[in-house]
Structure 1
Amino acid sequence: MPHLGLNASFAHADAQPGQIAFVSQSGALVPAVLDWANDRGIGFSHFASLGEHADVDFGDMLDYLGSGAHELIVGASIDPLFGPVILFGQGGTAVEVVADRALALPPLNVALAESLIERTRVARLLRDWRDRPGGAAHFAIRPYPQELIETLDWYGETLALHPIRPEDEAQHLAFLQKMDPEDIRLRIFYSRRSIEHSELARLTPIDDDREMAFIATRTGPDGQPETIGVVCGICDPDNETAEYDILVRSDLKGCGLGRLLTDKRIRYLRAHGTRRIVGTVLRENKGMLALLEKLGFAITPHPEDPDLRHVELPLQPTH
C-alpha cells in the first residue's frame, strides 16, 4: 500500500503513491511493472500480487477497490484480423451484462484515448453528473516537453520547430489539404487528399518514450499559427532503431525546411540515445534522396521492392 509506505512483495523498490490500483496473479510480473512505472513517475493507490495461495481472489479485490468508486475495465487482446486491440468500458461484476465498452487500435495518444472513453456510457460518470462528483481519468502521459521548442529566423519570418500536440489537429489538416497529392504519394505512399479524424489523430502523436513528431509552424495570413512541415517516426522498444518520415508543404519545397526538420529529428534522437535512424523512400523521389545523401545517410536498394530505397544513418559513435 504505497500511501502507507508498506511493501509486502518481493520487489526491490516501493511503489510511488498515486491513483491507479494494480492487481496481478503473477508475482514475477510485479517487479517488472513496478520498475517500468517508477521510471515514468507513475504512482499507485494499491499494488498487489495474489499468487495461487491467497485467501482472497480477484473478485474480492475488485469489491474492495471498487467500493464507492466507478469500476472501469481496460484491457488488450490480439484480434486475428486487426492485431492488437485496446478495450475500455464499465467494469464490475456485471461487466458482461452491462456491455458498456469501446474498442480502439493502438497506439493511442491523448486525443484517441479521450475519444475511446467518450464512446462509452460510463464516460458520463467520470464527469460531474446530477450533482454527483465525477471521477477522473488519469493517463500515464508526460507533460508537454517545452524544452524541445525552438524558434529561428527563416527568410525574415519567425519559424517554430516544436513537438506536435493533439490540439494541432485542425492546422495539421489544413496543412495536408494544401499538399499536392503527388507529394503525399512520394513521401507516405498515400493516394487520398482527404483524411479521416481517426487517421489524422494518429499523425499527431506525443509519446516521448517511443514516438515523437516535430512540426514547423509560422504565423499565417490570419495571424494564427500554420503548419508547413512535419517530421516523425517511431522508435523500437529497445531504442535501437527509429523510423524517419517527413513532409514539407508543396509550395515551400526547396526552401530548406526539409533539412531543418531532419536535423531537428536527428539531434533529438541522438540525445535520446537511439542508435540509428532508418526510412523508406521511393526511388523516383530524387530530391529527398539527394538531401539524405548530403546529411550522411547510406542509401541502398530495398530488399523487398526495387522501386524503393532504404536509407539509414548511425546516430551514436561505434566502439
Structure 2
Amino acid sequence: MAHDLKIALATRTGFRFEVRRARIEDEAILAEFFTHVSPQDMRFRFLAGVKSVSHERLLAMTRSDDSRVHNFLALSTNGVLIAVAMLAIDASGREGEVALCIRDDHKQLGVSWELLGYVAKYAQQLGLEAIISIESRENHAAIDLEQDMGFTITSYPDDPTLVLVRRQLQVEHKTGSKQPGR
C-alpha cells in the first residue's frame, strides 16, 4: 500500500484536512502531537495512565506492519498534526480494532467523525467484516460518536470500566491491486 497517498477530507463545518499513512520520519511530529493531548484523552487513547508517549510506542506508530497495523495521520492544511488513528487487524483478518486521538485545540470541528468514517471505509475496502473499539465507560464523547455512526455498545468481558463498541461492515471483494482510500 502506498504510504504517500494523501486523502483530502472536510467536515460538515467546512474544516479541511488531509489523511495519510504514518511514516518512519513522523516520530518527531507524533511526539509533538501528544504534547497537545490532555491527560484524560491520553488515558482514553491508551487505556492507561500515560503521561508521555515513549520512544518505543512512537516507533511502533511509524513502523507499522502493512498487513496488520495501519496508522493514519490527519494534518491541517498548514501541516499541523491534528489527529491520529490506528487500525489493527486481528489474526483472522476479519476484524479490526480502531483507536483515535484528537489534539485538544481541534475538538468540536468534526475531525473525529470524518477520520473514523475514513478508517471504517478503509477497513471495509480491506475486506474486514467489522471494526471494534475498546472504550473507557467515562469516554462519553467517543461512545456517543460511535453510537451515532452505527456502532453497538456491549460490556467488555472481565473489566466493568470498559465497553466494547462494534460496527459491522459490508464486505467488499478483495482485489490484488485495489488500494483503500482511492
Structure 1 unaligned residues grouped into runs of 5+:
1-141
2:154 matched to 1:300? yes
2:82 matched to 1:214? no
Higher relative contact order (CA 8 A, sep 6+): 2
State the one-letter code of the partner of 1:217: L
Kindly, what percent of the aligned residue pairs are identical?
A: 29
The alignment's C-alpha RMSD in Å is: 1.9
- Structure 1 residues 201, 292: closer, same or farther in 2, change over 3 A? same
Give me the whole-angstrom Cα distance separating, in 1, the residues matched to 2:148 and 2:77: 30
- Structure 1 residues 311, 219: closer, same or farther in 2, change over 3 A? same
- Structure 1 residues 160, 315: closer, same or farther in 2, change over 3 A? same
2:172 matched to 1:172? no
Offset from partner CA, 1:193-246 (integer Å, 9 cap, x none): 3232222111224433211111110145xxxx2211011021023211101111
Which residue, out of 289, 295, 319, partners 2:143?
289
Structure 2 unaligned residues grouped into runs of 5+:
172-182
2:126 matched to 1:256? no
- Structure 1 residues 166, 182: closer, same or farther in 2, change over 3 A? same
Which residue, out of 151, 154, 165, partners 2:8?
151
Which structure: larger Rg? 1
Q: 2:51 aligns to what SS in structure 1?
A: coil
Give me the whole-angstrom Cα distance separating, in 2, the residues matched to 1:257 and 1:250: 11
Give me the whole-angstrom Cα distance separating, in 2, the residues matched to 1:207 and 1:194: 23
Give me the whole-angstrom Cα distance separating, in 2, the residues matched to 1:296 and 1:153: 20
Name the TM-score, length of structure 2 as normaliser.
0.85
- Structure 1 residues 170, 219: closer, same or farther in 2, change over 3 A? farther
Q: Which residue of 1 aligns with 2:177?
A: none
Give me the whole-angstrom Cα distance separating, in 2, the residues matched to 1:206 and 1:219: 25
- Structure 1 residues 262, 239: closer, same or farther in 2, change over 3 A? same
* Alpha-carbon distance, 1:153 to partner: 4.4
Offset from partner CA, 1:129-170 (integer Å, 9 cap, x none): xxxxxxxxxxxxx65252xx2113456664111111111111
* Alpha-carbon distance, 1:188 to partner: 1.6
Which residue, out of 167, 170, 176, partners 1:313?
167
Give me the whole-angstrom Cα distance separating, in 2, the residues matched to 1:302 and 1:213: 24
**Stretches of 4+ aligned residues off by more than 6 angstroms:** none
Q: Which residue of 2 aligns with 1:196?
A: 54
